[in-house]
Amino acid sequence: MNNNIEALENHESLYALEDRLGISRRNFLQMCSAMAATMGLSGEAAAAMAEAVASKKRPSVIWLQFQECTGCTESMLRAEHPTLEKLILDVISLDYHETLMAAAGHQAEAARKAAMAANKGKYILVIEGATPTKENGIYCKIGGKTAIELTKECAADAAAVIAIGSCASWGGMPSTTPNPTGASATHEILGKPVVTIPGCPPNPYNFLSTVVHFLTFGKLPELDEKGRPKFAYGRLIHENCERRPHFDAGRFAMQFGDEGHRKGYCLYKLGCKGPETYANCPAILFGDVGNASWPVGTGHPCIGCTEKGIGFQKPIHALAELKSVKPPLGYPRIVEENGKGVSFAAAAALAAITGVAAGAGVMMAKNLGADVKTDLDETPKKSEKEGA
């Protein structure tokens, strides 16, 4: 194995790869270096990954689709990024995929069984979409078999099982209340941990990096307690968000289109779930269309699609729980006025009405709460007129 990724540029295997993919060797090596860096791996690992992609046999992939919108597949193979599309299809041998394969009906099912038999114990099973479980799973059947039966059958001899997207990872949108079909996550069907790459849709680089790691080292990357690769889901979105400095300074957009929103202020008060959502969206962006190509960067709050119990469950404008960031007792305003604050009379009036302590805690509540005026705004004036 060559430990120097730069020396690989003139390797004969990369000339063949260049012809297959239609991308330069240098761009390919840069992509391998970026994947390794994203996973916290060394330059030697990047070289190993490049050699594995260029020379190793492509792993067979069986890709099942259940209760989903096909958005995960679209994000992997979208036409706007042909380089990634070609690379994914070059890294893996996609032997069964209902949306993409030319075969249909009995021929499609025969192709699946043939691929599983020829690659027993070596193929990768990818599941997209939630699995319905109510009434013995009758709400999703393919080739006469329920999604439950297909999952168990295909997982039995798989080298690895990857649940791609939020629906397969934890139920996603189909599992929202009242969940009439009993939509469930893949790991719940199998009764054992699987690799989960949540997102609605997930970032294609997280999937590609996971597969390349498996291809290179023969094992999956380190996972968290929810089965997510730590390199992609190890940190809160809030920690790397470009709007984080505005949060720390107390500058928030209060309404869509207001001055703060136009200036790029923090979207916490608009319901951004970044403080309680683990993903690498702000670090690697999404869509490869340039700067700020991810939801918060374009002005929309994070909805927490990678987190069970938040995405599609928590109201979109509900304030996020601050997982690791504790706010100060009060935030400075953009233009701080001197000599004014909460009067004793106002604090006393508020305490009498709500039965809570006023003071600095009240100011924090005003800063972090919804943009709703309270009696606190008017009480000082009334009290002063009355000589309080």
Residues 6+ apart with CB under 8 A from 135: 182
Residue 18 has pLDDT above 70, yes or no: yes
Domain of 147, in residue numbers: 57-233
- 373 and 263 in a single domain? The answer is no
pTM of the predicted structure, to 2 decimals: 0.77
Structure tokens at 291: 């700067």
CATH number at residue 297: 4.10.480.10
Q: Which residue has the higher pLDDT, 101 or 355?
A: 101
Report residue 375's pLDDT band, with 50, 70 and 90 as the boundaries.
Answer: very low
Is 26 part of a structural domain of the chain? Answer: no
Q: How many other CB atoms sit within 10 Å of the CB of residue 20?
A: 12
Is 4 part of a structural domain of the chain? Answer: no
Structure tokens at 339: 């000599």
Q: Which of 28, 65, 66 shows the shortest CA–CA distance to 208?
A: 28
The count of domains in the chain is: 3
pLDDT of 353: 43
Work out the average pLDDT over 149-156: 97
- 218 and 148 in a single domain? The answer is yes
- 317 and 341 in a single domain? The answer is no
Is 102 part of a structural domain of the chain? Answer: yes
Given CA atoms 266, 271, 277, 283 in this order, what sign does their dihedral have?
negative
Report residue 337's pLDDT band, with 50, 70 and 90 as the boundaries.
Answer: low
174: left (phi over 0), alpha (psi -120 to 50) or beta: alpha
Residue 22 has pLDDT above 50, yes or no: yes
- 78 and 156 in a single domain? The answer is yes
- In the chain, where does DSSP find H-type helix? 12-21, 25-38, 43-55, 71-77, 82-91, 106-118, 147-155, 166-170, 186-190, 204-217, 230-233, 237-240, 244-249, 259-262, 281-284, 344-354, 360-368, 379-385
Is 50 part of a structural domain of the chain? Answer: no
Last residue of a domain, one of 213, 233, 253: 233
- 387 and 332 in a single domain? The answer is yes
Last residue of a domain, one of 233, 258, 277: 233
Report residue 168's pLDDT band, with 50, 70 and 90 as the boundaries.
Answer: very high
pLDDT of 13: 66
Q: Are 362 and 342 in contact (CB under 8 A)?
A: yes
Q: Tell me, what DSSP letter sits at residue 6? A: G
Is 20 part of a structural domain of the chain? Answer: no
Is 129 part of a structural domain of the chain? Answer: yes
CA distance 75 to 67: 17
- 380 and 263 in a single domain? The answer is no
User: In what helix (H) or strand (E) does residue 127 lie, and over which residues does it extend?
Assistant: strand 124-128
Residue 102 has pLDDT above 60, yes or no: yes
- 126 and 109 in a single domain? The answer is yes
Last residue of a domain, one of 326, 359, 379: 326
pLDDT of 292: 66
Is 373 part of a structural domain of the chain? Answer: yes
- 200 and 261 in a single domain? The answer is no
Q: Which of 208, 171, 188, 133 shows the shortest CA–CA distance to 305?
A: 171
pLDDT of 64: 96
Q: Per-residue pLDDT tens for 179-213?
A: 999 999 999 999 988 999 999 999 888 998 899 89
CA distance 26 to 18: 9
- 202 and 240 in a single domain? The answer is no
CATH number at residue 77: 3.40.50.700
Is 37 part of a structural domain of the chain? Answer: no
- 198 and 76 in a single domain? The answer is yes
- 347 and 315 in a single domain? The answer is no
- 119 and 146 in a single domain? The answer is yes
